[in-house]
Amino acid sequence: MIEPNKAVTVGQRPGVADQNVLILGSGIAGITTALELSEMGISSTILERRDRLGGQAAVFACKASEKCNKCFACVVDNQIQEVSRRSGIRILTESTLGKISGDPGRFKVQIQSGGNESRLEASVILVATGVDFFNARQKPEYGYGLFQNVITAQDLDEMLHAKGRVLRPSDGQVPSRIAFFQCVGSRDETIGHLWCSKVCCAYALRFMKAIRHQYPEIETSFFYIDIQPLGRSFESLLEACRQDERMHLIRSLPSKVYGHRTSTDLRIRFIDPVSGGITEEGFDLIVLSIGMTPREDADQVADLLHVPKNEEGFYRSPPPDSGIFVSGACKGPRDIGGSIIDAKATAREIAQYLGGV
């Protein structure tokens, strides 16, 4: 957290207040950085390619059960409200970056908004372009897009966010047996994604907790390889799930889903971790816990701004004197809390850089 008095000191340095930071992306990383900079008296322009703010997390549902399960979705809502009313932050939606010229500390940037083109000057460019969520169609054995009752965690979030209820897409009925498949698109050599997406164990367990609270009669099963802890309250969340007799944590990943388009008895086969034998079970809703991948256009932005990447394709921080900074999940999988911490640290680095320009 940046203390307000420290913030005022930086903002009062001659010249700093006039400097404009161009922020690419209005996800939680981009808007948190803009808010932190504004506390320090530094103005910014947020460029967002979509027609709304908040990035991927803007459509996440509240996953509270009898208590808050600390998913951070409401924090994103609050930050969106805050950034929209804060002075010194200009927001351009449905806008993308065009040509860039000038030098670090004095970039001249072309912006395309709809059919219009405009220009602005920026002292610093912050890349907070986030991630793509894994496309579950790349795992055809799970039948996403083929079986209506196989959905992704993103679909479930959107359903809960919009309707407040969990329903089977095939017939709009409340399901009775839900399976969560972990590590979909992560830690998977067959698709070359070796990284752990870090957030999906926690979000799936929170979903299960929230669903069991809302529908005490539903059985849920969680199929996993390893459980990746995340956040301070993770252990108590996991323990609560373990204690619930209608939540089954099964250390095995199903190989395939069998059924037909509208099937409410989707069959899955997996190795029973207790007996070691192959076993089969039926579910009427399967949720694929998809992970995060570098954005499809990550190379384009990297080439334009000379941002280095790691071997997985996520961004690394460029040298600080380049005037280009990077923040949030575009540097690698992290949750909302982790993105906020990173954004606050980046805002401090930017203020320091501007103080020296």
Ligand X SMILES: Cc1cc2nc3c(=O)[nH]c(=O)nc-3n(C[C@H](O)[C@H](O)[C@H](O)COP(=O)(O)OP(=O)(O)OC[C@H]3O[C@@H](n4cnc5c(N)ncnc54)[C@H](O)[C@@H]3O)c2cc1C
Residues in touch with ligand X (CB under 6 A): 24-30, 47-50, 55-57, 60, 71-73, 96-97, 128-131, 133, 153-154, 199, 203, 290-292, 301, 328-330, 334-337, 339
What's the chain's length in residues?
Answer: 357
Shortest distance, position 276 Cβ to ligand X, whole Å? 32
Residue with tokens 């991927």: 56
Binding partner at 307 among ligand X, ligand SF4, none, C-beta below 5 to 8 Å by kind: none
* Options 2, 17, 64, 100; binder of ligand SF4; rule CB under 6 A: 64
Binding partner at 74 among ligand SF4, ligand X, none, C-beta below 5 to 8 Å by kind: ligand SF4
Shortest distance, position 52 Cβ to ligand X, whole Å? 8
Residues 238-297 that bind ligand SF4 (CB under 6 A): 289, 291
Shortest distance, position 31 Cβ to ligand X, whole Å? 8
Q: What span, in angstroms and rounded, lies between the C-alpha atoms of 224 and 156? A: 18
Nearest CA-CA partner of 73 in 186, 197, 199, 184: 199
Q: What span, in angstroms and rounded, lies between the C-alpha atoms of 301 and 215? A: 44
Residues 6 or more apart whose CB falls under 8 angstroms from that of 298 comprise 129, 309, 313, 314, 315, 330
Any contact of residue 37 with ligand SF4 (CB under 6 A)? no
> Cβ closer to ligand X: 148 or 339?
339
Point out which residues pair with 266 in neighbouring strands: 283
> Cβ closer to ligand X: 164 or 273?
164
> Cβ closer to ligand SF4: 27 or 323?
27
Beta strands 266-271 and 256-258, pairing class? antiparallel
Cβ-contact 337, 72 below 8 angstroms: yes
Encoding tokens for residue 25? 């992306």
Buried b or exposed e, range 7-21, using 16+ CB within 10 angstroms: beebbeeeebeebbb
> Cβ closer to ligand X: 266 or 301?
301
Encoding tokens for residue 244? 């619930």
Any contact of residue 191 with ligand SF4 (CB under 6 A)? no
- The helix (run of H) or strand (run of E) holding residue 101 is strand 95-103
Nearest CA-CA partner of 236 in 75, 66, 74, 59: 66
Any contact of residue 193 with ligand SF4 (CB under 6 A)? no
Beta strands 292-294 and 247-250, pairing class? unpaired
DSSP codes joined into one string, 314-332: -B-PPPGGGSEEE-GGGGS
Residues 206-245 that bind ligand SF4 (CB under 6 A): 226, 228
Cβ-contact 74, 222 below 8 angstroms: no
Q: Judged by CB under 6 A, which stretch of 57-65, 89-97, 116-124, 154-162 contacts ligand SF4? A: 57-65
* Options 35, 125, 201, 298; binder of ligand SF4; rule CB under 6 A: 201
Any contact of residue 74 with ligand SF4 (CB under 6 A)? yes
3-state secondary structure 170-207: CCCCCCCEEEEEEEECCCEHHHCECCCCCCHHHHHHHH
Shortest distance, position 320 Cβ to ligand X, whole Å? 20
> Cβ closer to ligand SF4: 71 or 343?
71
> Cβ closer to ligand SF4: 68 or 274?
68
Q: Judged by CB under 6 A, which stretch of 122-130, 183-191, 303-311, 317-325 contacts ligand SF4? A: 183-191
* Options 28, 63, 240, 327; binder of ligand SF4; rule CB under 6 A: 63
| Greatest Cα-to-Cα distance within the chain, rounded to the nearest angstrom | 72
Which residues contact ligand SF4 by CB under 6 A? Answer: 62-64, 68-74, 182-183, 186-187, 196-198, 200-201, 226, 228, 289, 291
